[in-house]
C-alpha cells in the first residue's frame, strides 16, 4: 500500500511538470530514478503529459500502459526494459491520436534511437527489433541499451498497401508528413528524463524508405533534437515521387493495356540486361556495379529497330521472350525525368522535375519480378498504389477521380505546392544541423524499383550546389549500393550503419567506405564495399569474388 502511494504521488508530480522543469534538479527526479526498475516503470502508468511538454501543438499525451518486461520473458531478446505505450492527442476533434511506444532499458546507455516507418505508415513502430538494413546477427539497439521509440505516425491503416484515406484530414496529413516525428520525440524525452532523472546524451534517428524520408525530416526540420541520422533509400521528395509513380503507371496502362509487361516477359528481359552488363565491373557475380558502362551497353534496348535484342520481330507482341514496340515505349517513358510542367515555388527550394527510373540498368526484385509489375495486372503493381492514392486523397481530395485517365496536376498547382511543404523533406538548407555538429549518412540501392536511386543522387547534387565539397563531407555522407533493391535485391545488403554513425558523432571518426553483407540465402555472407557516390566497387581481377577485400572503389 505504501509503495503504491509513493508511485501514485510521483506519477502525479511528473504529469504536472512542464518540459522546462525536466532540465532542473527537481525533488522528484532523484526519487523516481532511485526506485527499482519495477516501481519506476509502474510509476509511469497512467501518466498524463501536458501539451506544454511537446514542441508542436497537441492536446497533450496519455500513457495507456507501462510494463516491465523481464530479461527472461518469452521471446524477449532485448534484456529487461519498461515498455511504455501511449497516445498523443490531436488539437482537432476529427484527427486520430498518434500512438507511440517508448522502450526504457534498465541498462540504459545514455542514448536514444528513434525508428522510422514505411509506406503510408498506419501501424505502430515498436522499436523492439532491428533498425533498417541492420545485419541480422547483431543485437537490437534496445538490447544494446538504447531507449528506442516509434509511432504509427498519427493514423491506423484500414487496408493493406497504400490506404490514403487519412490524407483527407489536415492534422492527420501533417502528422504523417512530419509533425509526428517531433511530437513522438518530445514525449520520449519527457519519459526518458522522468525515468532516469537525466537528459539523453545522444539522440539518433534511423529509417528506410518512408523512414528514410522521416530521417531527412529530423535533419531538415528538427535539427536541435538529433545528433545524427541514417536515411536508407529515402522517399524524401514524396509528392513528386508519387506524381512520377502516377506517370509510371499510366505508361503501363497505355494503348488499351497493350503496354503492360507480364512477369514472364519481365524475367526474360531482365536476364538479357544482366547478360549484357554483369561483367562490366570485371566480375560475373549477378551484380551490375558499373552502371555508367551498362547504360552505354543497353542503348539498343531503347530502340524500336531490329538492333534491339529484346524487341519482338515486327514490334508485335508474340510471346514472353520479347517486348513489343508499345512495351518498349513504356520503358522509355520510365527512363525519362518526370517534369511537373510548372513551378510551385518562387525559388528552387524544391525541384519540380523528378529523375528517371532504372528500367535499363537491371532494376528487378530478387525473385525475378520487374519494377513493381504485379502478377495480377496493373492495379496490383506497387507504383499504381501511391500513384493513385496521393493524387486521389491528398491532391484532388476526390474519391471518384479516375487518376489514371482524368488527373491533370496543373489543375491543382496551389495544392501541390502546399503538400510539398507539408509532406516532402526536400530542403537542402541544413545549416542548423551542420552548425549543431549533426551528422547524416544516407544510402540507396542502385536497383531500387520503388524509389529510384536518382532521387537520392539528385538531392546529393543539390547539396553540392549549396555547400563546398569539403564542408559537405564534414557532416553528410552519401553511398550507393549495387545490386540492392528496395526490400531485398540481388544483393540483399545489410549495413551496421548505427556503428558508423556512433563513431562519427561520438568519436569524430568520419566513415569512408562502408561494408555491406549479403543476406540472400543463396549468397549469404558475401561482402562488398559500399562506395561514396559517385564511386563504385570494381573487382580487382584476383581474390575471392565474394569478399569485399577483392574490390576497389573507383570513379571511372
Mean pLDDT of all residues in 245-274:
91
> What is the rounded CA–CA span in Å between residue 182 and residue 188?
10
Return the beta strands (E) in 326-438 as ranges: 338-339, 353-354
pLDDT higher than threshold 90 for residue 271: yes
Higher pLDDT, 429 or 15: 429
238-254: pLDDT as tens digits: 999 999 999 999 998 89
pLDDT at 136: 96
151 phi and psi angles, rounded to 5 deg:
-150, 180
**List 112, 151, 209, 244, catalytic entry:** 209
170-218: pLDDT as tens digits: 999 999 999 999 999 999 999 999 999 999 999 999 999 999 999 999 9
Q: Is 518 a catalytic residue?
A: no
What confidence tier does 460 reach under pLDDT thresholds 50, 70, 90?
Answer: very high
Beta-bridge mates of residue 123? none
Q: What is the DSSP-derived secondary structure letter of residue 97?
A: P
What confidence tier does 343 reach under pLDDT thresholds 50, 70, 90?
Answer: confident
Q: Is 551 helix (H, G, I), strand (E, B) or coil?
A: strand
What confidence tier does 383 reach under pLDDT thresholds 50, 70, 90?
Answer: confident
pLDDT higher than threshold 50 for residue 23: no
Neighbouring CB atoms inside 10 A of 306's CB total 11
pLDDT at 25: 35
Q: Residues 413-448, buried b or exposed e (16+ Cβ, 10 A)?
A: eeebbebbbbbbbbbbebeebbeeebbbbbbbbbbb
**List 155, 178, 227, 486, catalytic entry:** 486
Query: What residue has cell string 486523397?
Result: 393
58-110: pLDDT as tens digits: 999 999 999 999 999 999 999 999 999 999 999 998 899 999 999 999 999 99
pLDDT higher than threshold 50 for residue 453: yes
Q: Residues 529-546, buried b or exposed e (16+ Cβ, 10 A)?
A: bbbbbebbbbbeeeeeee
Q: Is 335 a catalytic residue?
A: no
Q: Do the beta carbons of residue 316 and residue 326 sit within 8 Å? A: no
Q: Is 448 a catalytic residue?
A: yes
Q: CA-CA-CA-CA torsion for 197, 202, 208, 214, nearest 10 degrees?
A: 80
Domain ranges of the chain: 2-200, 240-338+353-411, 431-554
pLDDT at 366: 30
pLDDT at 350: 55
**List 97, 317, 448, 518, catalytic entry:** 448
Mean pLDDT of all residues in 411-433:
96
Q: Is 538 helix (H, G, I), strand (E, B) or coil?
A: strand
pLDDT at 27: 41
277-313: pLDDT as tens digits: 999 999 999 999 999 999 999 999 999 999 999 999 9
> What is the rounded CA–CA span in Å between residue 409 and residue 388?
13
pLDDT higher than threshold 80 for residue 378: no
pLDDT higher than threshold 80 for residue 29: no
Q: CA-CA-CA-CA torsion for 151, 153, 155, 157, nearest 10 degrees?
A: -90
pLDDT higher than threshold 70 for residue 500: yes
Amino acid at each position: 500500500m505504501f509503495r503504491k502511494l509513493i508511485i501514485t504521488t510521483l506519477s502525479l508530480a511528473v504529469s504536472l511538470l512542464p518540459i522546462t522543469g525536466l532540465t532542473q534538479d527537481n525533488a522528484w527526479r532523484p526519487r523516481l530514478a532511485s526506485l527499482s526498475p519495477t516501481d519506476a516503470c509502474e510509476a509511469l502508468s497512467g501518466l498524463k503529459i501536458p501539451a506544454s511538454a511537446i514542441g508542436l501543438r497537441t492536446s497533450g499525451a496519455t500513457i495507456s500502459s507501462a510494463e516491465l518486461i523481464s530479461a527472461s520473458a518469452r521471446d524477449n531478446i532485448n534484456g529487461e526494459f519498461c515498455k511504455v505505450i501511449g497516445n498523443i492527442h490531436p488539437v482537432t476533434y476529427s484527427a486520430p491520436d498518434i500512438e507511440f511506444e517508448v522502450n526504457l532499458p534498465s541498462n540504459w546507455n545514455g542514448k536514444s534511437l528513434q525508428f522510422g516507418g514505411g509506406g503510408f505508415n498506419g501501424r505502430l513502430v515498436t522499436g523492439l527489433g532491428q533498425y533498417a538494413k541492420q545485419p541480422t546477427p547483431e543485437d537490437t539497439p534496445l538490447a544494446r541499451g538504447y531507449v528506442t521509440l516509434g509511432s504509427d505516425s498519427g493514423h491506423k491503416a484500414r487496408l493493406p498497401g497504400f490506404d490514403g484515406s487519412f490524407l483527407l484530414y489536415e492534422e492527420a496529413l501533417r502528422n504523417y508528413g512530419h509533425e509526428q516525428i517531433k511530437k513522438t520525440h518530445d514525449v520520449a524525452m519527457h519519459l526518458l528524463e522522468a525515468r532516469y532523472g537525466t537528459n539523453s546524451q545522444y539522440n539518433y534517428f534511423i529509417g528506410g524508405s518512408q523512414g528514410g524520408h522521416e530521417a531527412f525530416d529530423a535533419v531538415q526540420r528538427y535539427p536541435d533534437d538529433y545528433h545524427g541520422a541514417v536515411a536508407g533509400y529515402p522517399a524524401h521528395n514524396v509528392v513528386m515521387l508519387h506524381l512520377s509513380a502516377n506517370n509510371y503507371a499510366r505508361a503501363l496502362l497505355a494503348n488499351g493495356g497493350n503496354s503492360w509487361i507480364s512477369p514472364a516477359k519481365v524475367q526474360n528481359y531482365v536476364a538479357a540486361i544482366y547478360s549484357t552488363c554483369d561483367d562490366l565491373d570485371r566480375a560475373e557475380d549477378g551484380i551490375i556495379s558499373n552502371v555508367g558502362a551498362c547504360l552505354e551497353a543497353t542503348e539498343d534496348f531503347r530502340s524500336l529497330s531490329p538492333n534491339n535484342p529484346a524487341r519482338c520481330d515486327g514490334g508485335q507482341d508474340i510471346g514472353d521472350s520479347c517486348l513489343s514496340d508499345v512495351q518498349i515505349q513504356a520503358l522509355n517513358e520510365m527512363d525519362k525525368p518526370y517534369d511537373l510542367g510548372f513551378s510551385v515555388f518562387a525559388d528552387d527550394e524544391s525541384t519540380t522535375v523528378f529523375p528517371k527510373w532504372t528500367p535499363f540498368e537491371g532494376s528487378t526484385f530478387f525473385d525475378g519480378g520487374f519494377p513493381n509489375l504485379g502478377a495480377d495486372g496493373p492495379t496490383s503493381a506497387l507504383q499504381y498504389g501511391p500513384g493513385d492514392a496521393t493524387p486521389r486523397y491528398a491532391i484532388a481530395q476526390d474519391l471518384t477521380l479516375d487518376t489514371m485517365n482524368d488527373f491533370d496536376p496543373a489543375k491543382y498547382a496551389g495544392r501541390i505546392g502546399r503538400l510539398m511543404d507539408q509532406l516532402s523533406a526536400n530542403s537542402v538548407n541544413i545549416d542548423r544541423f551542420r552548425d549543431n555538429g549533426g551528422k547524416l549518412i544516407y544510402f540507396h540501392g542502385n536497383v531500387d524499383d520503388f524509389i529510384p536511386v536518382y532521387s537520392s543522387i539528385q538531392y546529393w547534387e543539390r547539396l553540392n550546389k549549396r555547400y563546398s565539397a569539403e564542408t559537405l563531407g564534414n557532416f553528410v555522407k552519401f553511398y550507393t549500393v549495387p545490386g540492392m533493391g528496395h526490400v531485398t535485391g540481388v544483393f540483399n545488403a545489410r549495413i551496421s550503419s548505427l556503428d558508423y554513425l556512433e563513431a562519427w558523432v561520438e568519436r569524430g571518426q568520419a566513415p569512408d567506405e562502408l561494408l555491406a553483407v549479403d543476406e540472400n540465402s543463396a549468397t549469404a555472407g558475401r561482402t562488398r564495399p559500399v562506395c561514396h557516390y559517385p564511386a563504385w566497387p570494381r573487382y580487382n581481377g584476383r581474390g575471392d569474388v565474394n569478399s569485399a577485400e577483392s574490390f576497389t572503389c573507383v570513379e571511372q
